[in-house]
Amino acid sequence: MQTSSNGHSVAEGSPYARHLPALDGVRGFAVLGVACSHLFPGTPHSSLEAFVHNAFAFGASGVDLFFVLSGFLITGILYDSLPDPGFFRKFYARRVLRIFPLYYGVLAAFALAALIFGLNFHHQLLSLALYLQNSTLIAQRIRDYAGPTFLPLPHFWSLAIEEQFYLVWPVTVFLLRTRRRLLGFCAAALLLCPFLRSFLFLHGVNYYIVETNTLCRSDSLLAGAALALLFRSRLHDRVLRAAAWIFLAGAVSGVLLVYASNHGPFLNTPTGYQFFLAFNFSSIALASVGVIALSLRSPLISHLCTLRPMRWLGKYSYGIYVLHLILFSYLDQPLRHFFSTQVTPNKGVDIVTTGVLIFLLSLIAAYLSYHLYEKHFLRLKRFFDYRPHPNTVA
C-alpha cells in the first residue's frame, strides 16, 4: 500500500471517507433533542411532568453531539485530503456552499426587515455576519441580547463556534499533518479545557460566557477529531469494540457528577458546583463519542440511526436547527392563545400541541429551504470534489 509524504495512507480512512447513513440518524437524534429543549417550555407541577421537562431540557446536549460529530467528520475529511493540492480551497469552498446560503439568507431577511420597518438590532447583524456572535467584539453576545428590537437567534452561538473551528482547524491539521501529533494535540485539549472552564467559573465568569466560548468548548469538537484519527489507525477495531464502554464512561460520569452536585460533600457547594459545570461538558462529549462509535458498531444502535425518519431528520437537521427557534419565537404565543381560547383551556395540552405544530412547521420549512434554495448552491460542490492523489492510492 502506497503512502503519502506525510506518512498516512488515504486508503486507511476510506471506509469513513464515504457517506455513512448511520451518522444521518445521529444528526437526527441531535436535532430532535435540541428542538424538544426549545419547543416545550413550562413549569412542571408533578413528578411526571418534572421528569418529562428534565428529559426535554437534557435534549439541549444535542448541541454537544453536533460538536463531536462535526469534529469527527471534518477531521476525517481534512486528514484524508492532506495530499490533495486543493486542500484548503476545496475544504473551504464546500463548507461555504453548505453553510452560508441559509445562514446569510436568514440574516438578509432580518436586515431587509430592519430597512423596511426601521428596526434596530444594535449591531447584532454585523456581529452575526462575521460569526462573532459568541463574543463582545462588535455587539453583545447573542445569548445576552435583549433589545432594542427582538432578534430570535440566540441559538446561533453554536454556529459561531463551529465556523471558528472550521477556520482554524484545517490550518492546524495541515501544519501538524501526522496522526500522532494531531492526537497529541487533541489529548492536550481534552485535558486542559475542563480545567480552563473551572478556572473561569471559579473567577466569577458567567456560565453563558464559558458555554459559548470556542476555546472553552473545543474539547467537544476535538473529541470527535480524536475518534476520526483513531478510526484511521491500527486501533480502529479496539476503539469500535470499546464503543459501549466509552458511552458508559461518559454517561456514568455525568450521572455521578449530577448526584455529587446535589448530595456530595464537595460538589454540593458553590465551589464544587463550578467544577460540576466544568466537567459535565467533558462527560457529555465522551458519551457523544460513544454514541457515534456505537452507531457504526452496534446492530441495534445502527438500526435505530438508519431508520428512515431519523435519516430524514438528519438530512435536514441544519435547516431545522436554524429555523425552528425563529418560528417558535413568532408563533408560540399566537398559537397558544388560539388553542387556549378555541380548543381547550388546559395549559399542558396547549404547550404540547403548540410545540408539536411548530416542530412540524420547522420540518416543512427546512425541507422547502433545502430543495428550493440550498440545493442550488450544493450542486456547485461538484467543482470542488476530492479526488485521489496519484501517489496515495492503494
Q: What is the pLDDT of residues 338-364, one digit of tens each?
A: 988 888 888 888 899 999 999 999 999
pLDDT digits (tens, 9 = 90+) for 180-239: 999 999 999 999 999 999 999 988 899 999 999 999 999 999 999 999 999 999 999 999
Whole-prediction pTM: 0.92
Judge whether 125 and 153 are in contact, CB under 8 Å. no
Residue type, 223: A
Give me the pLDDT at residue 12, please: 41
Q: What is the pLDDT of residue 264?
A: 67
Rounded Cα–Cα distance for residues 311 and 299 (Å): 16
Over residues 305-316, the mean pLDDT reads 97
- Mean predicted confidence (pLDDT) in 86-102: 96
Residue 274 binned pLDDT confidence (cut-offs 50, 70, 90): confident
Nearest to 128 by CA among 147, 141, 144, 114: 141
Q: Which residues contact 151 (CB under 8 A, 6 or more apart)?
A: 110, 121, 124, 142, 145
Lowest mean pLDDT among 53-57, 103-107, 297-301, 333-337: 53-57
* pLDDT of 272 over the 80 cut: no
Mean pLDDT in residue range 246-266: 85
Contact 345, 356 (CB under 8 A): no
Q: Is the dihedral of CA 229, 235, 236, 241 positive or negative?
A: negative
Per-residue model confidence (pLDDT) at position 275? 82
**Mean predicted confidence (pLDDT) in 268-297:** 89
Alpha-carbon span 200 to 206, nearest angstrom: 8
Judged on CB neighbours under 10 Å (0-12, 13-18, 19+), 372 is: exposed
What pLDDT, in 10s, does the model give residues 158-196? 999 999 999 999 999 999 999 999 999 999 999 999 999
DSSP state of 11: G
